[in-house]
Amino acid sequence: MDGVYNYMEHLVKKQLDEVLKRYECCKCPQCKRDMYAYALNLLPAKYVTSLEGEAFTKLEMLDASARVKLITVTTEAVHTVIQNVRHIEA
């Protein structure tokens, strides 16, 4: 529905960029999409009705255990995808 957003998507995007800074792995669009989808499938959706302001992108919107899960799952997503790379080698 228009006007409803899953802010977990934004948190995963930010967290994925953070994790990828520490890895010398493939960062092509296909691998990043696979990592992103993998992580989102394991994390609960967090719906909001406004993307106004910055609050929706703040990690502080999650409680401590949800934050740990976001970081753990995102790191696991990177590991899983780089071990099962599906992109087409150019």
Footprint of Zn ion (CB under 5 A): 26, 28, 31, 87
Q: Of 26 and 66, which has the nearer Cβ to Zn ion?
A: 26
In angstroms, the CA 54 to CA 38 distance is: 25
Q: Of 67 and 87, which has the nearer Cβ to Zn ion?
A: 87
| Nearest distance in Å: CB 47, Zn ion | 30
Q: Of 7 and 36, which has the nearer Cβ to Zn ion?
A: 36
